Structures are given as C-alpha cells and as structure tokens.
Structure 1
Amino acid sequence: MEFVGGVGYTNIDLIYSGMDRLPDTGEEVFAKRFEMHLGGGVPATLINTSRLGVPSKILTFVGNDFFSEFAKKSYAEYGAEIINLYQGSGMPVILTSVMVCNQDRSFTSYREEATASCCTAEDIYRHLSGAKLVSMHVGFLDVYKRLKEEGTVLIFDTGWEDDLSIEKYEDYLRLADYYLPNQKEALKITGTNTVEAAAEKLSAYFPQAIIKLDKDGCLLRNSAGTQFIPSMKGVTAVDSTGAGDAFMSGFMYGLFHGHPIEQCIRFGNVTGGTCVQGIGCLTKYVDEKTLLELAAAI
C-alpha cells in the first residue's frame, strides 16, 4: 500500500493567548487563556494527512515522562498511530512556550537531549522504505538519500533560524524535490530583499520554486513564469502556529493523488488557512470532502 511518512521530534506547545502585548525584558504580562497541545513539525503534518485519508507513518520519539505521556494520549485522541524510536530514559519531547498576541507569536523551546542518537539510520530507513512521499527533517540525510534512490518524493521545510542559509542546508536542498519556505524564511535563506528575487535564486535548486505568503497566498515560479495563487477566502486568523505544517499536509495530499502543482498549492492554502482559525496546530482542520470543495473556490 502506498503511504506518506516522516520522522521528527514530538513537540508540546504551552500556549499563552489573549494578551494585549508581549512582555519586554523584566516585565510580566498575564494571558487570558492557557492551553497545552501537541505541537507542530513532521508529526503534525502527518496527523493532518491521515485526516485527509492518506495512509501515513509517523516516526517520532516519546518516553515515559509527564509530557511524553500527554503526547501519547494526544496522538491516540487524534487517531494517529506512531512508531516510537526512543529507547532512552529521559524526556525526548520538545517543549515550546508560545505567546500569541494580535495574531503574532513568540516562542521559547527546550529539548532535554539529542533523542535521535538512540536509534539508527537503518531503523528509520526500514520504516520509511516504500513511501511515496516523505516530509524531511534535518538530521537524517543518509536515510533520505537512500529513499530518493528508490523513487520517494522528498519535501523539505526548514522553519526559521537566525543562521538560516543556503550554505547550511545545501545538501538537503539539492536532495529535496520541493522546498516550502514562508516569505520571511525565503528572504533569509537566499539573502534577498523580494520574494521574486528569492524565488529566482531557489529556482536554481527547484523547477517548482514555492514561497508561502501567509494571507496573500503563495508564489510559484516555474518554466511557465511566476504566478501568485490566492489564499482561501473568509479566513479570520486567530493563531498562525502550525500553519506551515498544515500547508504541507494539503500540499502532500495533492502530490499523493497526482494533482498539478497549482492544485497542490491550493490544497495547501486551504489546510493552512483552516489551521490559523484555531489556537494551536491541530484544533482546526478539514476532511477530504471539505478540502476539495474549498480548493475549488480558490
């Protein structure tokens, strides 16, 4: 059976929202609401692909600590089966405090140990071999090389880093079939000042250069030129946490079913646009029927 898959850390988001402003150094600001949710990353993307009816394999790391137990319960509640690669005795999940203010957000994250060291590349390869699509995560390059040789389509998304650069991730960029940065990430990694210039630079690596533009939709540059694919209509954004992971789930759905790249992006705009209408990464989502209906209206 064809499936999509990926390996990535489990994230737990501690979300503070309803603040008038973010605190400055030395200040305390009280939030009106607090929630704890399963966070973003590869597992969140694959939870949403499974919600769309795509067979999905989630490889991750959970232990026996309080937050890992919360994660296991959350995975079960979402109907997601995971393959746990962790063999240590610590806390392998990543904790992130998320402060949401006027649709903007700030993050502080903590990871106790390098959990990937407790499994082998062969373990990961064995579980992902045969996948039609794989969502890439930094740290498993040799696995992705083997999968690529077998014909697996690889999709990469870096996320924001202060030292984000093409040089840092060139091996991944040259290996991936698709790269899905948002506007800020695209400008940073290419060292350019406009999305058009960033797309031109990324097109040296990707025949289909894609840049997510938040509420303005998505830029696509390919042999046909540059076009802007609009976002979903009627979106009232509450929290943009996890929007990129949600976009990838819709995009992967389209690739899995063989849709043209423009339609894959429309699917991503729907799943990403739906995600931002709720607090956290996974509270707002669409099923397959709704996805097709909403994408047809874009």
Structure 2
Amino acid sequence: MGAEPLLHTVNDSEASPLILGLQPAALIDHVSRVDSSLLDRIPGDRGGSMPVGMEELENILREVKSYILSSPDDLTTPVKTIAGGSVANTIRGLSAGFGISCGIIGACGDDEQGKLFVSNMSSHGVNLSRLRMIKGPTAQCVCLVDALGNRTMRPSLSSAVKVQGNELTRDDFKGSKWLVMRYSIFNIEVIEAAVKMAKQEKVFVSLDLASFEMVRDFRLPLLQLLESGDIDLCFANEDEAKELIRGEKDADPEVALEFLAKHCQWAAVTLGANGCIAKHGKEIVRVPAIGESKATDATGAGDLFASGFLYGLVKGLSLEKCCQLGSCSGGSVIRALGGEVTPENWQWMHKHLQIKGLPLPEIRQ
C-alpha cells in the first residue's frame, strides 16, 4: 500500500506549524439531530463512542432518516457531513478561530471521503504536508445528537487507512512547539512512536482521554502512558475522569485532576454546564461555562475547549485565562451542529473574549 504526502496547500517554504495534530486516520463525520428513541435501536451506551463495522454504520445512516428532529439551524440536509475526529476539530479550531499555524499528521484514503477531508481542512488553513494519501477507504463516524444536545458516536475505523508508527520521522515534528493527540488503544503503537520522536525534538505533548469507554476498557496502557512522564498536558471530561480513578473512595473530578497533575505539567477536566477545573504546579482554578444556555450539539465541545486552552498556553497566558479561552471556544461550537465552528459563532466567541478582557486572535484572511 503506497503512501504519498499530500501537496502542501499553503506554502512549502514556510516555517513548521506551531501546533501539530496526530490523527492516524482521517475521519469524516455524519452529524444529525435525531429523536432519542433511535438510540435504543443501536448497539452500545448512549452518550459514548463505540466502534462499528461499515455495514452497521450504513445501517444507522439509513435509520437516521426516520428519526430526524427538525433543526434550529434550518439545515437543507438532515445530515451534516464534515471532516471530523477530535484532533482535527482542535487543529481546525486553532487555525480558523485563533490564527495559529497548525498541521496534521495522518493518512486519508483516495476516496470521496478523503477528498472531502482534504478540502475541509485545507480551506481552514491547516498544513497538510504531513498527511499521507493511501489507497483504500477513509474512516467515517455517525454522530447522533438528541434534543438536549447530547451526542452519541459510532465510528467505523477498522478497515480505514491510517498512518503507522514506522512511517513517522523526526522531520515530521522538527520545529513545532506542541503535538496534540487523542488516546486510543487501536493507535497505541503510532502514539508511542510519535511521543518518542516529539520528545527527541523537544515538542510538548497534549493528550485527550477520548471517551469513558476507551478509559474504562483500556485503562492500564493509558496509565502507563501518563506515568511515563512524557505527557505534558492532559484533557479529560467528567466521565473520563471518573473512569480513570474508579475504585477510589472519592472518584470525583477534583481527585482525578490531582491524579493527572501528578504526571502532567498541566491538567484540565471539563464539567459541561459546570465549566472546568485545571491545575498547573500548585495552582488550581475553576472557571464557569460560557454559552451553555444555547447547547444545540455537544459534539466538539471538549475539542474546541482544547483549542482555546492551547492558544492561551502558546501566548503565555495564565492558567485561568487559558481556561476562560477554552470555555469561550468550547461554548462557540455547541451553538450549531457538528464539531466545526460557524463564522457567526466565531464572532460570538470574539464578542465574549472582549467582554472578559481576553486577547483577541489575529485571524489570517
């Protein structure tokens, strides 16, 4: 299976991206608002993310048509199809909403979904020179959003093309400041290879805990990764945090935060409508949520929280301001369907940044 780097969509001679995302398999999201009764008809827990085969994914997409909820966005199509994946959402948000130079490491198929991924990410200024195109299918995921804005995800990844650990080189990481990753047992080999090379190039590493099922079912390799001391920043939501420290007498987010901060320089736990808590060194901050009153779809909330938080870190801002930036960007994505922030909601975010006295990004035109 031959892999070839995609032509850089901006300018090959420019400096290395400040922030790189590792998403071994490019992913296309099919996002739809559905009646919650559909969630009783598909396998797995509500609110989580459970892998399915391509046939099951296509079955769910067919079923969706009978369970569509009318959308406040008045979408012309009942299913919104965009480039997806946690890391892609974070990287696209940093580039489009914060003007930070970003790139993505991974692979996409030579199919229509692969072309859609490339088109979507490049249109938001993301450097694709580290994205390999490989013959085969691109990963897909169905994101089902209920009337309360809670999302249930069913990804089909098993047959999709992805980059392997032995295909990475130190040149992929040279000159960058941060590497953004999402925990997955299915990508553990490429994650470990990327972490090793990133550390050789003195690149900071950020890890998102992915889903409560991933933490619950593959906790030991995750603990080994955290205890290696190579993860500089860790993001978890409340459910993931509780799974991480299950068995503790007080399995609450504060205890999980303390645990993460023992192993990482920075740790942040998002608490939905209750905002977030974060720790760096001896400092602990708690910041309220912003924009929670209009939660249309929680898809991407944690990913965009990471965008704002990382923007604050690269700008050298305080822990509290990093959290406020994260809350603003996380609040911006939940106002519409899918993990991509609309132009109107970037404007909404900028208005809230001004209200809070936070620095406004310089957006590339």
Q: TM-score, normalised by structure 2?
A: 0.72
CA contact (8 A) 2:291 2:328 kept: no
Note the aligned Cα RMSD (angstroms).
2.6
For residues 166-177 of structure 1, the aligned pairs below 5 Å read 166-173=219-226, 174-177=229-232
Q: Does 1:153 pair with 2:169?
A: no
Quote the residue 2:296 is aligned against.
238
CA contact (8 A) 2:107 2:132 kept: yes
Partners of 1:197 and 1:151 lie apart in 2 by: 30
Q: CA deviation at 1:257?
A: 0.8
- Aligned positions, number: 294
Q: CA deviation at 1:41?
A: 2.0
Can you list the C-alpha shifts for 1:58-114, whole angstroms capped at 9, x where unaligned? 2231222121122222223334331254353101x3211111112122111112245
Q: Does 1:86 pair with 2:86?
A: no
Partners of 1:249 and 1:23 lie apart in 2 by: 30
1:129 aligns with one of 174, 191, 213: 174
Partners of 1:283 and 1:227 lie apart in 2 by: 26
CA contact (8 A) 1:10 1:41 kept: no
SS at 2:108's partner residue? coil
CA contact (8 A) 1:87 1:118 kept: no
CA contact (8 A) 2:141 2:155 kept: yes
2:258 aligns with one of 189, 200, 205: 200
Q: Does 1:101 pair with 2:167?
A: no
Partners of 1:163 and 1:63 lie apart in 2 by: 25
Q: Which moved more, 1:226-235 or 1:260-269?
A: 226-235
Q: CA deviation at 1:151?
A: 2.8
Partners of 2:168 and 2:106 lie apart in 1 by: 13
Can you list the C-alpha shifts for 1:136-175, whole angstroms capped at 9, x where unaligned? 2452323322322443221110211525155221343231
1:286 aligns with one of 331, 346, 363: 346
Q: CA deviation at 1:222?
A: 4.8
Can you list the C-alpha shifts for 1:109-129, whole angstroms capped at 9, x where unaligned? 11224522396121xx31221
Quote the residue 2:22 is aligned against.
7
CA contact (8 A) 2:108 2:134 kept: no
Partners of 2:285 and 2:265 lie apart in 1 by: 14
Structure 2: which 5+ runs fail to align?
A: 1-14, 43-59, 70-77, 183-187, 359-365
Structure 1: which 5+ runs fail to align?
A: none
Partners of 1:289 and 1:62 lie apart in 2 by: 33
For residues 264-275 of structure 1, the aligned pairs below 5 Å read 264-275=322-333
Q: Does 1:115 pair with 2:162?
A: yes
- What fraction of aligned residue pairs are identical, expressed as a percent? 21
Can you list the C-alpha shifts for 1:9-48, whole angstroms capped at 9, x where unaligned? 3221112214254342389542143221221322221111
Partners of 1:233 and 1:90 lie apart in 2 by: 40
* Cα pair distance change 1:24/1:18, threshold 3 Å: closer
Quote the residue 2:245 is aligned against.
190
